Structure 1
Amino acid sequence: MLLRARVRRPAAGASPLRPSRPSPAPFTTTTTDASTSSSPDPDGVAAEVATLLSRCSGDWKLAIAASDLPSRLSPASVSSLLLRGASSPRLHPKLLLDFFYWSRPRLGPSAPAPDAFAHLAVSLCAAGLFPQANGLLDHMIRAYPTPPLVLSSVHRAVSGSGHDRRPVVLDVLVDTYKKTGRVRDGAEVVLLMKDLGLAPSLRCCNALLKDLLRADALDLLWKVRGFMEDAGVSPDVYTYSTLIEAYCKVRDLDAAKKVLEEMRETGCSVNTVTYNILIGGLCRAGAVEEAFGFKKEMEDYGLVPDGFTYGAIINGLCKRGRPSQAKCLLDEMSCAGLKPNVVVYATLVDGFMREGNSDEAFKIIKDMSAAGVQPNKITYDNLIRGLCKLGQLGRATEVLKEMVKIGHIADTITFNHLIEGHLRQHNKEEAFWLLNEMRKDGISPNVYTYSIIINGLCQIGELETAGGLLEQMVAEGIKPNAFVYAPLISGYCREGKFSLACEAFKKMTSSNVVPDLYCYNSLIIGLSKVGKMEEAIEYYDQMLEKGVHPNEFTYDGLIHGYSMTGNVEKAEQLLHQMLNRLKPKDFIYAHLLEVYFKSDNLEKVSSILQSMLDRGVMPDNRLYGIVIHNLSRSGHMEAAFRVLSVMEKNGLVPDLHIYSSLISGLCKTADVEKAVGLLDEMGKKGVEPGIVCYNALIDGLCKSDNISHARNVFSSILIKGLVPNCVTYTCLIDGYCKAGDIHDAIGLYNEMLARGVTPDAFVYSVLTSGCSNSGDLQQALFITEEMVLRGYASISSFNTLVHGFCKRGKLQETVKFLHMMMDKDIVPNMLTVENIVKGLDEAGKLSEAHTIFVELQQKKASQHDTDHLSSLFTGMINQGLAPLDVTHNMIQSHCKGGDLDKALMLHDALVAKGAPMSCTSYLALLDGLCRKSKLTEAFNLLKEMEEMGICPSEDQCMILLNDLHSSGFIQEYNKVFDTMLCYKWLQKESKCNSVGNSQEAANAE
């Protein structure tokens, strides 16, 4: 039988059960008999007492007191009397019991023999004096705590009395154990009866089963039930009801239902209580629909559901978030003539508040009052808690006032709800005011109060205040627990303050507060997120040492951290550790998958997915979404569709994110036709394409030069009532610009503004590029000004426009635009200079590149800006990007402007690159060096010219020399002239001509 299978009996030869011992006995025990007693003749004393009791039953105490018997009494003599008297018809058991209680203080710490207790208990039961027997047995089990010893004495007493195998004294004995709080010893006594051929009554067994259930001693409950079957104690409705309740308690609902079936099979009548127990168990386990089925079944059997039946199902419905259905059951209950009690109403109020339906909850309160049921404090607390969670703090305060008005006292629980509600609204001032009000009203905050406030402060970033409150809490003598420290540690980790988090953790452990899993996880996950893996793994090792079992979030944090820092081997090692300890969740694998996707290791990705399936871990939509998204992004569309097929075979329906990834991937691989087909498939499968899907399709169509189809898709979006976003417009505008259709692009831009869609920097960049490429520089300038106004000024957009101006030879506009860039603190980069050169080259005006830099200098651009442009131009030379003629013009321009350092920087860049210097540039540099009296550098440059085979003409040399002489640089003139003679660039008489010409020029002036 089912019930019998549950019984687990001790193996043969196993030692008997040993329950915990009771409190010390009021006197010590002795098993000494008359022969070993200190009394010379215990049996004689017992006989004298017996004679005296039988003769003077009314005033025996006076008679004994008048004799010398009190001085001769001993435990042995009292034991002898109780044994003799129990079998003597002349001595009533009540009289013997009175003598026993009279003798107790005179015997000192010793007690009569256990058999004496047992025999008198049997006699008392035989006389119907069960309470008196119960009291006597209480003394016996206190004096003799070992159940086997007690049962052996009772067995001998019963055997000698001629009673049947189920004497009442056994029931009284078991009942005595239960009344003294020793229910496990009571069960042990019953189980020991089997070997003695004894058994208590069914009533006693039923009561014991019930008490074992209350004591959570289910191991003994099954054993006692097995004993009943072996001893032939047939179960009744109460037995079965207790067993059903026991199975419900351990959530073995199938077994509970089978007990009900067994009751019917054995012909045991099922009553309302039995059904109520089963219905209550089903509701607590969340099986409300089954509970409804048994309610109907009991009605079919002619049983009427009572208040408990309805209350259990109402509670179950509310716990499952179905208070409206529970309300219908309340109405049914009222129609059946049953009056709901305060618990039922409170359950409904709580149910509606948990659902967020405060209006319906207040209606229940109103109905409750109308029915004459006064809301209790629990009802009000539930209402206040729910209102605080909904943020209806004003209403919660009104409920508090009403609660106090009708006589309920607000306590710590009530204030905790209100404080928590205010902290959820980030109203810390009100929370602290309530804390002070509590103290004023003499209500002491408890550890949960502080836990709420500290958690709330940490949620709003008030970590310093939270830390101060923790210190105050300790100062007030309230010991923090893990729930107090956990939010503080988590808050520090969230803000990256790991030293403070570790300090709080250390303080916690030094205060003998045991960290829980949440504390460890906060540190491990927080440290892992920032790549501090050494510290994270230390806390992981520590939690294992302390016996705190990591969960999937612990491993997820560590695996993510090691994956992020590139230590995939360690991440895989932790994954295997986790697999040995617990069943993994699918999200654990996500981090490793991301790592392998980044390295394009599809073999590993496939291996991980197969490992998941082998372990019975079914990927959900999110994980399949990660795989399909990454495959699509990297262009592995065949693999992406294979994963999609597996997903659908496993009964999962692709969601919007997955379809968006596939459509985007198809568009990137130019398979737009398949992308359009996939969009149609979505609609057929009931997945409404979102704007993300349409954006991907529009982008793909535009990139495949199918702008008209893209525009049709855009129109269908509007028809479907979807709202285009910035990405939608950007894709189309970009498509039109690349197609050269600036008019439609600007039209879409204006439409975008009219619809209230804010353009981003990329929109402006696309429009600027499009207008510039099409030659509409005025429109491009307008778009750029709009971009600047909206705070989206970017170097890329400015570079595009610079290139457009230069391309069309608009040098003044270029200079003006460069000034605008610099005014907006947008620093030109290498691309800026490249665009200038490229644009001028395309316009056939490359030689004028230096004019832009001269204009910048003339317009007093900052030294930093011109220096920056020069260094960028030098960088172009180093990369071989700068045209030579432009570079030479730049050198000559810098020399003329007196900026010799920049000119030399360009010279050095050309020489380093092996590019030729022009003679004119060399002479310009020589002039500049001489004017700066840098003769050593000048001679080096002359030597470089001679080595490079640069031979200036006589006229070029004379121009330089005359210029130096006329400017008063006579020493420089002479040295340069001598060097030129040496290199045979001039004849000796050239000096006279040069001087004469210079003199004539001076006289003319």
Structure 2
Amino acid sequence: MRLPRRRPLLLGDIHRRRDRRNPLPYLCFSTSIKEGGGGASNGGDLVREISSLLRARTDWKLLMLSSDLHRRLNPNAISSVIESQNQVLDPELLLDFFYWSSCHIGPPPNIDSFSNLAVLLCNSGLFPLANDLVERMIKAHPSPSSVLDSITDCFKRCEKSNPAVFDVLIINYKKMGLLKSAAEFVLLMKGGSFKPGLRCCNGLLKDLLKVNQMDLFWKINEFMVEKRILRDVYTFTILIGAYFKAGDAAKAKKVFREMESMGCVPHAATYNTLIDGLCRSGAIDDAFELKREMAEKGLVADAFTYGALINGLCKDMRSKEAKLLLSEMLGLGLNPGVIAYSSLIDGFMRESNVDEAFKIRDEMVASDIRPNIVVYNSLVRGVCKMGKIDKALELLKEMASAGWNPDTMTYNLVIEAHFREQDVKGVFHMLDEMRNQNVPSNVYTYSVIINGFCRCGEMMQAAEFLEEMIVKGLQPNAVIYATLISGYCREGRLTEACDILDKMHEQMVVPDVFCYNSLIAGLCKSGKMDEARDYLAQMQEIKLLPNSFTYGSLIHGHSKVGNMDKADMYFQELLSHGLKPNDIIYTTLIDGHCKADDVAKAFSTFHSMLERGVLPDVQTYSILIHSLSKRGKMQDVLQIFSELKQKGMPPDSYTYTSIISGFFKTGDSEKALHFYDEMCEQGIEPTIVTYNALIDGICKSGDIESARRLISSILEKGLVPNAATYTIMIDGNCKSGNITEAFKLFDEMLSKGINPDNFVYNVLLGGCCRVGDLNRALDLLNEMVHGGFATVLSFNTLIDGFCKLGKLQEANQLLQVMNDKHISPNNVSYTTLIDGHSKAGNMEEACRLFSEMQEKKLSPNTVTYTSLIDGHSKKGNLVEAFALFEEMLAKGVLPDEIAYQVMIHAHCKEENLVKVFQLRDEMTGKGMRMSGATYLTMVDGLCRKGDVAKAIKLLDDMEVQGISSNDAQCRMLIDRLQRSGFMDEACQISEITTKKGWVARESSSNPLLEEASCH
């Protein structure tokens, strides 16, 4: 009979060479025959036959193959043989039988077979064989809980078992890359009476720390404490490293001191771990103190110690000190190695000291230390950061000649540098080179590319690379999506930005705070506040906490659209979440309140800012100065300006421009020019905005010629007049009546490609009306209508011009043109026409227009009513005048000074002095002042009533209140009294007004008065 081909023996015939004496002088497993496939009797026979062969014959394998024994083998029979013969047979013979038998059965051996043998081998000190067996056991039975249960059961059944079997299992789990299973195996021992050895635990802790499995690390550490596994210097050293990895330097230092108090003496590795951790956490001085302590304890600092300190100093931007430490290291005969040199090169590059970095590289090469890829990447990073792309490309060639192929990081750095220089061609060249060199792109490569194209505004290219990335199986992260969202928002393409967020959900990428912040910021900048609030709500729904940037965007957006209530609400929400507002948020709020004309709230916010310890910057102060200057509060401006300078903050051109503009507004040209001179003395270059403020102030003072000279000086300084400059000059010329020069400037503005706005057209329109050139004004209005520049203000300006020239029919026609052009007249349009017709005595037309405006749901204002009342009064329609005044009050339209004075004149006509004085008292009670003409009207009324004494008192009151009259007004009063036959009264009034200096003495002599004997 031909025998089957023999398999090579895994253990050979080692058992034949061993001493045949029983190697197990201790009791082990009890014999319990397990049933095989053929019942208890047949199974027992099989086990007995195999056992006899193993005990008696060295050629048992041949005999089993030549019989039917090998066909009758099964997992239970194998397990029973091992259990029954473990006290008799050599462990290696049993192991050989186990391996041979395993090859002749289908299913894998029972877990107990593995466990019995593992315990037996460890008890015999055969650890290499045990390791191989345990590895096979783990592959066949991967569940740590099953393995532990079986091993524990076998361990307990065997007296004097060696607990090293547990360590062997843990070590093999680790060796096979099953670190989590190793930790699970240990933790499953928590409730039992067994525990691994200290060395095994230390090894497990070290490996868990290395792969950053910190949760399991701390659980194993806790297990060791509970099992009272005493720690040694290695345990403490590992723990110190773990606390540093967790970012808890204080705990790491505490462990170091505790180990000393427990009598565990730290060795050099412990000090090195602590020094390295302190350096990485920025506590360089503490690290140097430990180095000194090492020397005091007789421990020698090695290359690792120096390397850690050098790296720490370099990260702390103290590369020069690190270089001195390198010299010290070399002086001690220590070899720095590539890591120390790499740290120094990276450090000098971070400090932009490129020359020194290359010197270190040269020293490194001179010391026969070959720069590695990390060193080259540090050099490439540094030169790229400095914008020296040519040097970076040279380094790539040098790397290749030195045998180092540029890796993905190298190319990423150069691609990023090309984007910084906006060299898209260079980017594509690098990408081609990457492909040619088979260097794979990673997520960061695409992140750099997408970010670069987004910043260049090339959103189509960015989107294409996103798709390419996905096709290549690379998952875009939240950072990449946030970059795209931000890019689309910058371009104002908010729909696409929102689509990116939807794409994230499709790709199962959870948006982070930055994604939402980018989108919310973009929406807020575009004034889409409702959408921004929706995304805030969505963000909160998925449990993402808004941060200061989120709220800052919402505050900025609402401030920009003038909704300060919402801005304040989000500011309070920010505070309620324990977030700290920065100076930008405060400045935004202050600016918003200033623009909303709530200076008190702006200053309240400013004081809150100071109370919270947030320092305002120049912009904050400048906003307050600008707001106060606009309101003409120049004393407050000077106080804020002084505070700004006291805090050592140099004012900028915006600050000075605001102050200059403010002083011009208040008519103090001298002060305005003083601050302009100060600005120049401080070396602050005036901008075109500054010059515009100067030109505007000079124009308003009527000195157009000086304004022209200033424009010439602007051109000499290389500044270009802008739309505002031309607008100011056109306005100045129009107001001074030089309409020809105004149109000349307008033509120049057009020739320079500066588009005029509605304001410029309206200024020119007003100028034409002012000089009475209504034909030109009409031509301009037609041009404005065709160009789409005509507004209600444009028509109102021309209506006013026609009314002032008494061309009321043409003014009425303009109202019709407005309706034809779908430009709705407002209450100013109607009020101007009503005033024009009232002054012309056309009260019927004025009343028609008054009714028409109300039919159009336009509310008459104080001016409307006053114009009608004055018109009726002058026509003698006093009943209508008084009725309109009552209607005005009933509708809640408050009379102003002019309305009151018109009514006083009307009641004087009716000689109702009681009502006159009642109205006078109402006026003064409201803080209003009467004009000199109104006082004289009242004096006239009193004289006609014969109450000269009261009239004289009224003149005295007038003088006390600082209200004077002129010669013409007084002469008119005196003449009216004379013509009405009140000669005595006229004489007395003449004397008093002459004494008060209101009437010239030469003009006070009147033959009629002299005849009346006014003495």
Deviation at 1:79, TM superposition (A): 2.0
Question: What secondary structure is seen at the aligned counterpart in 2 of 1:106?
Answer: coil
Bigger mean CA offset, 288-297 vs 227-236: 227-236
Q: Write the distance in 2 (CA, Å) between the matches of 1:506 and 1:880.
A: 58
> Once the two structures are superposed, what CA deviation does each residue of 1:828-876 show, in whole Å capped at 9, x if it has no partner?
87777988999xxxxxxxxxx66x889x99xx999979x999x999967
1:752-781 Cα offsets, whole Å, 9 max, x none, are xxxxx99723333444555x55xxx87676
Q: How does 1:354-753 map to 2 (within 5 A)?
A: 354-443=350-439, 445-470=441-466, 482-506=478-502, 509-510=505-506, 515-544=511-540, 550-567=546-563, 583-586=579-582, 591-592=588-589, 594-596=591-593, 598-599=595-596, 618-622=612-616, 668-670=633-635, 682=646, 722-726=682-686
In the alignment, the residues of structure 2 paired with residue 152 and residue 194 of structure 1 have an alpha-carbon distance, to the nearest angstrom, of 13
In the aligned structure 2, how far is the partner of 1:397 from the partner of 1:247?
42
Q: Is the 8 A contact 2:625 2:640 kept in 1?
A: no
Instruction: Compute the displacement of 1:207 (Å).
Output: 1.9
Partner of residue 740, structure 1: none
Partner of 1:60 in structure 2?
A: 60
Matches within 5 A, 1:775-786: none
In the TM superposition, 1:99-114 aligns within 5 A as 99-112=97-110, 114=112
Task: Could you tell me which runs of 5 or more consecutive residues in structure 2 were left unpaired when the two chains were aligned.
Answer: 1-30, 751-755, 812-828, 843-874, 877-1015
Taking the aligned partners of 2:769 and 2:554, their CA distance within structure 1 comes to 53
Q: 1:276: Cα distance to partner?
A: 1.2
1:401, distance to aligned residue in structure 2 (A):
1.4
Task: Identify if the C-alpha distance between structure 1 residues 566 and 600 changes in structure 2 by more than 3 Å, giving closer, same or farther.
Answer: closer
Aligned to 1:96: 94
Alpha-carbon offset, residue 688 of structure 1:
6.7
- CA deviations 1:525-560 (Å, max 9, x no partner) are 111211223333344444455565544323332343
CA-to-aligned-CA distance 1:416-467 (integer Å, 9 cap, x gap)? 3222211211111222233333334444545543443332222122234444
Separation in 1, partners of 2:569, 2:840: 61
- Decide whether aligned partners of structure 1 residues 675 and 574 sit closer, same or farther in structure 2, where only a CA change above 3 A counts: closer
Specify which of 313, 316, 321 is matched with residue 317 of structure 1: 313
Identify the residue that residue 84 of structure 1 maps to in structure 2: 84
- Alpha-carbon spacing, 1:387–1:43, altered in 2? closer, same or farther (3 Å): same
Query: Higher relative CO (CA 8 A, sep ≥ 6), structure 1 or 2?
Result: 1
Aligned counterparts, 1:61-460, within 5 A: 61-88=61-88, 91-112=89-110, 114=112, 116-163=113-160, 167-193=163-189, 195-443=191-439, 445-460=441-456
CA change 1:435–1:915 in 2 (3 A) is: same
Deviation string 1:901-939 (CA, Å, 9 cap, x unpaired) is: xxxx9xx97994334499xxxxxxxxxxxxxxxxxxxxx
CA contact (8 A) 2:523 2:529 kept: yes
SS in 1 for 2:125: coil
Rounded Cα–Cα distance in structure 2 between residues aligned with 1:621 and 1:212: 46
Shift of 1:92: 0.9
CA drift of 1:99 comes to: 0.6
After superposition, the Cα gap between the structure-2 partners of 1:119 and 1:289, relative to the gap in structure 1 and judged at 3 Å, is: same
What secondary structure sits across from 2:334 in the alignment? Answer: coil
**Number of paired residues?**
774
Letter in 1 for 2:614: D
1:47 aligns with 2:48: yes
CA distance in 1, matches of 2:464, 2:666: 63
Alpha-carbon distance in 2 for matches of 1:527, 1:495? 12
The question of whether the paired residues in 2 share the 8 Å contact of 1:589 and 1:608 is answered with yes
AA aligned to 1:522 is S
Contact conserved, 1:412 with 1:445, CA < 8 A, in 2?
Answer: yes
Q: Secondary structure at the match of 2:264?
A: coil
Instruction: Report the CA distance between 1:303 and its aligned residue.
Output: 1.2
Paired-residue identity, %:
38
5+ unaligned residues in a row in structure 1: which ranges?
Answer: 1-30, 636-663, 728-756, 807-813, 839-848, 892-904, 919-947, 950-1005
Q: Distance in 2 between matches of 1:151 and 1:475?
A: 46
1:913 match: 837
**Cα pair distance change 1:833/1:171, threshold 3 Å:** closer
Coordinate RMSD, CA, aligned: 4.9
- 1:669: Cα distance to partner? 4.4
For 2:794 and 2:623, locate their aligned partners in 1 and report how far apart those are by CA, in whole Å: 41
How far apart, CA to CA, are the structure 1 residues paired with 2:271 and 2:744? 86
Cα gap change, 1:612 to 1:171, in 2 (>3 Å): farther
Partner of 1:794: 726
Match of 2:692 among 738, 753, 761: 761
Q: Secondary structure at the match of 2:104?
A: helix
Distance apart, 1:237 and its partner CA? 0.9
Separation in 2, partners of 1:70, 1:216: 49
Residues of 2 paired with 1:71 and 1:371: CA distance? 69
From the superposition, tell whether residues 253 and 94 of structure 1 become closer, same or farther in structure 2 (CA, over 3 Å).
Answer: same
Most deviating of 705-714 and 416-425: 705-714
Give the Cα separation in 2 of the matches to 1:543 and 1:704. 50
Could you say if the C-alpha distance between residues 310 and 545 of structure 1 is closer, same or farther in structure 2, counting changes exceeding 3 Å?
same
User: In 2, Cα distance between the equivalents of 1:290 and 1:300?
Assistant: 15
The alpha-carbon deviation at position 380 of structure 1 amounts to 1.4
Counterparts in 2 of 1:505 and 1:348: CA distance versus 1, 3 Å: same
Report the Cα distance in structure 2 between the residues aligned to 1:379 and 1:261, rounded to whole angstroms: 37
Contact 2:485/2:515, CA 8 A, preserved across alignment: yes
* 2:635 partner amino acid: A
C-alpha distance 466-294 of structure 1, shift in aligned 2 (>3 A):
same
* 1:38 aligned residue: 38
How far 1:273 sits from its partner (Å)?
Answer: 0.6
Q: CA deviation at 1:270?
A: 0.9
* Letter in structure 1 aligned against 2:62: L
Q: TM-score, normalised by structure 1?
A: 0.66
Q: Which residue of 1 aligns with 2:918?
A: none
For the residue of structure 1 that corresponds to 2:682, the secondary structure is coil
Cα separation, partners in 2 of 1:94 and 1:470, compared to 1, 3 Å: closer
Distance 1:298-1:603 versus aligned 2 partners, 3 A rule: farther
Closer, same or farther in 2 for the Cα pair 1:123/1:629, shift >3 Å?
same
1:564 CA displacement:
3.6
- Compared CA separation, residues 412 and 689, structure 1 to 2 (3 A): closer
**Equivalent residue letter for 2:75:** P
Paired letter, 1:134: N
Q: Supply the distance in 1 between the matched residues of 2:37 and 2:613 (Cα, whole angstroms).
A: 81
Structure 1 contact 761–787 (Cα < 8 Å) conserved: no
Q: Is the partner of 2:635 in helix, strand or coil?
A: coil
Provide the residue aligned with 1:9 in structure 2: none
Indicate conservation of the 8 Å contact 2:36/2:74, yes or no.
Answer: no
The answer (yes or no) to whether the contact 1:121–1:169 under 8 Å persists in 2 is yes
Tell me: CA distance 1:294–1:168, structure 2 relative to 1, closer, same or farther (3 Å).
Answer: same
Letter in 2 for 1:122: V
TM-score (norm 2): 0.65
Deviations 1:664-713 (A, max 9, x none): 8999443699679758x82xx76677788788888899999999999999
Distance 1:218 1:912, change over 3 A: closer
